């Protein structure tokens, strides 16, 4: 299939970045109906509006980037990147217990309200979720790059589809590989996208399986892959009987910075989840973990490629789906 791409270059540096992303996009088996600058004529300020919303929200709440990034994962892994996770109502994805701790909805809704004023019924909620996650990473100090847009919003959102399609923090390597492969993602994508845990927070019950409570209610470490000092810090922050709303930072070192510290933590046996620790303990992934820990730019380059693949999982385009007027409800 022949494809013609026209690139507008406001500055030489931005032109180089666009060409790099377009090359990666064209070389990957991504959805042909998505395109860079999809809204260039229909809503030229779309991406700027989303970016400004993310930046403004993050300036007052540093946990926003982590929430927006997690929201994207939970959207794309269930029914594809179609904003189905945003739909409210009984029995929707959003109502499933695995999704009740999701956040960042207000940022998406705010961006959508502004976009409906300037470009009514034009920009999809699915694109807003993808763009907001991309911009969240930039806001937290991660790499900036263009992503294709043109997604349409799904009409189906079923809580029954959630559990079997998202990573559980207690997953083994085999379970994670199987799930990622089912989404068209490789082993390298698995290691790279796990780097999302360099920002964000987790509830205490998400890693409680690494500890055991004795008859006196005291916690002891049973997972020998976890650093003892780090384990004691976690038990102090999440003692037995902790509130269900209690959280800790995914990355204990640079909690709000999108960097390669997550991989450095893994080498020090300070991965918060069991699904983190297995990456450094498995010979299929340990070398990649070390490469990312040693060179942040290598991680950032891989992140760009894997993020592009993540945001094109099961997308709806052309005559599929719809453009919602409100991200919380189907038209």
Q: In angstroms, rounded to a whole number, what is the distance separating the alpha carbons of residues 327 and 88?
A: 9
Whether the per-residue pLDDT at 220 is higher than 70: the answer is yes
Q: In angstroms, rounded to a whole number, what is the distance separating the alpha carbons of residues 196 and 273?
A: 13
Alpha-helical (H) ranges within 168-260 are 173-182, 187-193, 228-237
6: confidence class by pLDDT, cuts 50, 70, 90: very low
25: confidence class by pLDDT, cuts 50, 70, 90: very low
For 100, the token pair is: 């009740």
160: confidence class by pLDDT, cuts 50, 70, 90: very high
Q: Single out the residue of 129, 142, 249, 238 nearest to residue 197, CA to CA.
A: 249
The predicted pLDDT at position 242 comes to: 80
Whether the per-residue pLDDT at 318 is higher than 80: the answer is yes
Whether the per-residue pLDDT at 26 is higher than 60: the answer is no
Higher pLDDT, 237 or 27: 237
> Which of these ranges, 8-12, 123-127, 232-236, has the smallest mean pLDDT?
8-12
Q: In angstroms, rounded to a whole number, what is the distance separating the alpha carbons of residues 128 and 50?
A: 7
C-alpha 163: how far from its chain's center?
Answer: 17
C-alpha 256: how far from its chain's center?
Answer: 15
267: confidence class by pLDDT, cuts 50, 70, 90: very high
Sign of CA dihedral 278, 279, 285, 289: negative
- To the nearest whole number, what is the mean pLDDT of the chain? 90
Q: What is the pLDDT of residues 124-138, one digit of tens each?
A: 999 999 999 999 999
The predicted pLDDT at position 29 comes to: 46
The predicted pLDDT at position 14 comes to: 46
> Which of these ranges, 15-24, 27-36, 160-169, has the smallest mean pLDDT?
15-24
Q: In angstroms, rounded to a whole number, what is the distance separating the alpha carbons of residues 260 and 21?
A: 21
219: confidence class by pLDDT, cuts 50, 70, 90: confident
Q: What is the mean pLDDT of residues 287-299?
A: 98
Whether the per-residue pLDDT at 162 is higher than 90: the answer is yes
Feature table: binding site: 75, 78, 80, 82, 84, 93, 197-198, 251, 254, 259
The predicted pLDDT at position 30 comes to: 56
For 288, the token pair is: 């990649």
Q: Determine the Cα angle at 109 with ends 107 and 113, to 5°.
A: 120
The predicted pLDDT at position 142 comes to: 98
For 60, the token pair is: 């007052």
Q: What is the mean pLDDT of residues 217-245?
A: 85
CATH classification code of 45-200+250-311? 1.10.520.10
Whether the per-residue pLDDT at 108 is higher than 50: the answer is yes
Label the pairing between strands 247-249 and 219-221.
unpaired
Higher pLDDT, 314 or 222: 314
What would you report as the CA-atom Rg of the chain, rounded to the nearest whole angstrom?
20
% of the chain exceeding 90 in pLDDT? 79
The predicted pLDDT at position 123 comes to: 98
**What positions carry a catalytic annotation?**
74
Whether the per-residue pLDDT at 24 is higher than 90: the answer is no
Other beta carbons within 10 Å of 190? 22
Q: In angstroms, rounded to a whole number, what is the distance separating the alpha carbons of residues 128 and 54?
A: 10
The DSSP secondary structure of 126-178, one letter per residue, reads: HHHHHHHHHHHHHHTT-------B--BB-S---GGGTGGGS--TT--HHHHHH
Q: What is the pLDDT of residues 75-104, one digit of tens each?
A: 999 999 999 999 999 999 999 999 999 999
31: confidence class by pLDDT, cuts 50, 70, 90: low
CB 148 within 8 A of CB 35: yes
Residue with tokens 């450095």: 264
What are the residue ranges spanned by the domains of the chain?
45-200+250-311
The predicted pLDDT at position 76 comes to: 98
Whether the per-residue pLDDT at 274 is higher than 60: the answer is yes
């Amino acid at each position: 299939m022949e494809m013609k791409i026209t690139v507008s270059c406001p500055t030489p540096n931005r032109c180089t970045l666009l060409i790099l992303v377009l090359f990666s996009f064209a070389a990957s088996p991504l959805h042909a109906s998505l395109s860079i600058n999809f809204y260039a004529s229909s809503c030229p300020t779309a991406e700027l509006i989303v970016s400004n919303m993310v930046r403004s929200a993050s300036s007052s709440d540093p946990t926003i980037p982590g929430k927006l990034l997690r929201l994207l994962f939970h959207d794309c892994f269930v029914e594809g990147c179609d904003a189905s996770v945003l739909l409210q109502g009984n029995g929707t994805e959003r109502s499933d217990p695995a999704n009740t701790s999701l956040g960042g909805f207000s940022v998406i809704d705010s961006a959508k309200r502004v976009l409906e004023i300037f470009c009514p019924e034009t920009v999809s909620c699915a694109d807003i979720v993808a763009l907001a996650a991309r911009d969240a990473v930039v806001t937290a100090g991660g790499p900036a790059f263009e992503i294709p847009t043109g997604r349409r919003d799904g009409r189906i959102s079923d809580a029954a589809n959630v559990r079997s399609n998202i990573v559980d923090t207690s997953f083994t390597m085999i379970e994670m590989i199987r799930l990622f492969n089912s989404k068209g993602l490789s082993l390298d994508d698995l290691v790279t996208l796990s780097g999302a845990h360099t920002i964000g927070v987790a509830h205490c019950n998400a890693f409680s399986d690494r500890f055991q409570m004795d008859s006196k209610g005291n916690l002891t470490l049973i997972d020998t892959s976890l650093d003892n000092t780090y384990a004691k810090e976690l038990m102090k922050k999440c003692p037995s009987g902790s509130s269900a709303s209690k959280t800790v930072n995914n990355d204990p070192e640079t909690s709000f910075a999108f960097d390669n510290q997550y991989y450095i933590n893994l080498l020090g046996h300070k991965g918060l989840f069991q699904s983190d620790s297995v990456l450094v303990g498995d010979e299929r992934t340990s070398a990649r973990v070390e490469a990312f820990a040693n060179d942040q730019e290598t991680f950032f380059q891989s992140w760009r490629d894997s993020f592009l693949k993540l945001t094109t999982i099961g997308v709806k385009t052309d005559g599929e789906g719809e453009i919602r007027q409100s991200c919380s409800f189907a038209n």
